[in-house]
Amino acid sequence: MERLSRLFWPVIVSPKNAVIKNVEAISRSQKLLAEMGLVKPAHNGTFQLMPLAQRVFDKCTKLVSRRMSAVGGQQILMPILTSSEHWKKSGRLDGDITEFYLLHDRHGKQFLLSPTHEEAVTALIASISPISYRQLPLRLFQIGPKFRDELKSRFGLIRAKEFIMKDLYTFDRDVQLSLQTYNEVNAAYDTLFRQLEVPFVKVEAATGMMGGSVSHEYHYITPTGEDQLMLCDNCGFAANVEICNAEICRRCKSASLQYVRGIEVAHTFVLKDKYSRPLKATFLQDNGKPEYLVMGCYGIGISRLVAAAVEVLSTEKELRWPKLLAPFDICIIDAKQGSKEEEMANKIKNDFCGSLGKVCSIEEVLIDDRNHLTIGKRLLDAKRMGYPIIVIISGKIVDGTARVELHMPHASLQIEQSEALSEIAKYTKAKSKLLNISALGFNARLNCKYRVIWMTTCS
């Protein structure tokens, strides 16, 4: 169990009648994450994660790695610096480079602070090419920082110059098999986004600077979103207006369209041989002849995903988290120091905490032991932080039995200890059900507003 009094937690306390001079538009997630001491801006467009935010990120990366492993992904780590030689070969250094961080070492050799790793991973495979067809399909992913010199970084982690990405690169024998890979990884993404329980839309997308042929984006819907999406009410088709700005639905010709704004949180691409050909990443076919590998790439913006989820779920004043990402599941608030209930409360607290290990993971419990503060003040903080379950142990006795207060986003109860423990057990069960969702069993209980029909574009 973690104690809040020991936690590095640089909350911003603004004076009561402060006049807000800064008129720069900031988003809800940016405001709440900063005020609550989770994320601190470093300099323009970069951010520092404080311990509570780091916990959220660790949960998110673990969840994502698990999904990637489930589709045969193997985790690697490539350098942040990539040689611009590779980027010359792929032709991307001849395109728009305004968002690249380019730098030179002492020998004058040029590097990029990588915005993405297609070149690097293809060069890696090329260095051992030709590989055998027996090693295919090959799926490699990493999770780490990426860099983009944004003209306008904004909304905190949502559009930052340095951000955390999961990037998966896949290698197949032919286009048909790479489309099969594409479908498998997309199914893994679908499962992940359902586990997070934030309504999402999956849309057909432009391939942009990545090149390739087939591409989809996953969006969280919020007015803060920078992309405009078209959704067909009739057939469920959805697309980024970048590729599909029309009066009628491209698939069913219905005019019943709606437009919403979304934050792109993940992107998938079929790349074919766009990188393997110039960088010479090959494999030996079963007939002994070399052939270029057929690639795909699949990104998830981890830092953006966390911020965008908060953006969608939170209220003006209180953070809200996906169940699987909350910094702690449970926050316990004990009696105020020196109050007449203190002794009784401590007895109940010890008893209660002793039993908690049976109904949840102790690592998910935070005790707000700042007992020089009133219960009310600490409850307010806990609510603003959005802990899914808040337990107040004030030492209150009703009809001769000790009661605890349980606060959840949609209910507040004054109940006996045993009842509180069984509520926590219920929550733990719901969480583990979410964690162990299988890709197959989930379609039946889709809790997202839009069902996007997209498979046909891959055949």
Map residues 241-280 to x or -, x wherever contact with Zn ion holds by CB under 5 A: --------x-xx-x--------------------------
Is 345 an interacting residue with respect to Zn ion (CB under 5 A)?
Answer: no
Q: Which of 7, 235, 373, 453 binds Zn ion (CB under 5 A)?
A: 235
* Element of type H or E holding 121: helix 118-126
Phi, psi values for residue 127, rounded to 5°: -70, -15
d(CA 135, CA 410): 51
Amino acid identity at 126: A
Closest CB to Zn ion among 197 and 242? Answer: 242
Identify whether the C-beta of residue 155 lies closer than 8 Å to the C-beta of residue 180: no
Residue 410: how many CA atoms within 13 Å on its side-chain side? 0
Return the range that interacts with Zn ion (CB under 5 A); candidates 26-34, 210-218, 232-240, 442-450: 232-240
Return the range that interacts with Zn ion (CB under 5 A); candidates 237-245, 352-360, 411-419, 451-459: 237-245
* Burial state string for 116-153 with b = 16 or more CB within 10 A and e = fewer than 16: bbbbbbbbbbbeebbbeeeebbbbbbbbbebbbebeeb
Closest CB to Zn ion among 89 and 219? Answer: 219
Closest CB to Zn ion among 52 and 452? Answer: 452
Q: Which residues pair with 370 in a beta bridge?
A: none
Q: Which of 330, 342, 340 is nearest to 385 (CA)?
A: 330
Is 234 an interacting residue with respect to Zn ion (CB under 5 A)?
Answer: yes
CB of 242 to Zn ion, least distance (A): 18
CB of 225 to Zn ion, least distance (A): 21
Tokens for 25?
Answer: 């538009």
Near Zn ion in 79-98, by CB under 5 A: none
CA 309 to chain centre: 7
Is 232 an interacting residue with respect to Zn ion (CB under 5 A)?
Answer: yes
Tokens for 30?
Answer: 């940016």
Is 229 an interacting residue with respect to Zn ion (CB under 5 A)?
Answer: no
Is 54 an interacting residue with respect to Zn ion (CB under 5 A)?
Answer: no
Is 415 an interacting residue with respect to Zn ion (CB under 5 A)?
Answer: no
Helix, strand or coil for residue 38? coil
CB of 451 to Zn ion, least distance (A): 12
Q: Which residue has the tokens 């690097």?
A: 120
d(CA 427, CA 69): 26
CB of 48 to Zn ion, least distance (A): 45
Is 237 an interacting residue with respect to Zn ion (CB under 5 A)?
Answer: yes
Site for Zn ion, rule CB under 5 A = 232, 234-235, 237, 249, 251-252, 254
